[in-house]
Amino acid sequence: MKYRMKSKSAYLCLLLSLALLTGSGCGGPVQGEVPEVPISSETAFSQAGELDSAAEQSQPKAEESASEPQEALSIPAQPPETGPTPEPAPEDPQPPEIRLVMVGDILLHTPLAESGRTPEGSYDFSAVFANLKEEIQGADVALVNQEVIIDGAELGVSGYPSFNAPYELGDALMEAGFDIVLHATNHALDKGKQGLLNCLSFWRENYPDTPVLGIHDSRESQQEIYVYEQQGIRIAILNYTYGTNGISLPEDMPYAVNLLEKERVIDDLQRAQELADFVVVCPHWGKEYVLEQVKSQESWAQIFVDNGADLILGTHPHVIEPIAQITSENGNQALVYYSLGNFVNWTSGTGAGVSNRMVGGMAQVTIGLDENGEAVITDYGVLPVVCHLEKGFGGVTVYPLSEYTEELAAHNEILKQDESFSLDYCWELVRGVFGDAVK
């Protein structure tokens, strides 16, 4: 910045300062002495003007007079162009799929019922399902074969041969995480018409959103095809039994229980294909305590696949049976689990082979879409389970076989009925029957 004098006195001071500076060389005045400079005021003003002009011309620029160099700032000629922040690329959507699981027979033998009786006199069966709860609830849809009718204590809780379970067993199934209850079994009419009606009333009043398949109190109900839908995949589920232990259907309720009747089954399968993309059949069939399928099962399995079934999940033999792929003449294929065995039981039987009844399987099936958009099985297997028995409240529970131990096996009450039971016995059984499908 340039500064300008604003009075004559200021110009005189400037002249004196210049004189002192120029006299600082050889022959100049000694430091501290002020030389006498005769000058008139007019001369002073004239010279001051000239000096002022010279001073302005000789004044260095601020950049040149700086004692230290300054770093140059890099300033862009114009700010960089900015636009809207680009949106991240969308992730590839996961292909739609449904993970389905199903367990075998829930049998309430008398000692098992007693294990669920609380000191107050009510029932609590939560211990039975505690160790499999994560697997059950982790599935998209979980099915259970409720072997015995649930009529409540008013009709008398009873075991073999005419079963009746307290309502609390139904509560335990729901608390465990099952989504669909299958009731078409040979024990559906153990307590007659009233027992069946009581059972249906329990489910409707307490769990109205839970599908209960296989038993009915109206013809309209029997004609309905249940369809489960998720992520655009529709799955029809059908449930039948070979019979009802010789007990006739009520005369005024010929629709009470779904029976394996060929004409009706074929009609149901055809309607199911129209309503759904994938068809599951859950038959109660076969021969008890036999570790492989019999001819009647193979015949029915062929009828199912010939008429559009994609997955067959069998129960009733009370022991596990093989898993197989079957094909129809028209090229349709189906995966069949001939028997999932018992999930829970406390049989009264004794001797060799009783240990087989303590081992079951949880079917694990993943249903997705192929390259043509058709619903197909993309993965499958079976989780082996074992029923552990101990006396006292909560003493009956089911374990994944992979979590069962030698110590637990040594305390299983079934050893008193079949001394061959052991952890190794269970593993040999499931590997021999289920083979590579074991997970």
**DSSP-assigned letters across all residues of 337-393:** EEEEBEEE------STTGGGGGEEEEEEEEEEE-TTS-EEEEEEEEEEEEEEE-SST
Contact 342, 360 (CB under 8 A): yes
Q: Residues, the chain, total?
A: 439
- Token pair listed for 402: 């992979």
- Percentage of residues in the chain having pLDDT higher than 70: 79
3-state secondary structure of 229: strand
3-state secondary structure of 438: strand
Q: 401 Cβ partners below 8 Å, 6+ apart? A: 359, 383, 384, 385, 386, 426, 427, 430
Dump pLDDT digits (tens) for 82-97. 556 667 666 667 889 9
Dump pLDDT digits (tens) for 288-306. 999 999 999 999 999 999 9
The residue with greater pLDDT, 87 or 352, is: 352
What is the 8-class DSSP label of residue 242?
S
- What pLDDT sits at residue 155? 87
**For residues 414 and 356, what is the distance between their CA atoms, to the nearest angstrom?**
11
Angle at which helices 262-275 and 295-306 cross, to 10°: 40
pLDDT (average), residues 318-337: 96
- What pLDDT sits at residue 154? 84
Overall pTM surpassing 0.85 (yes/no): no
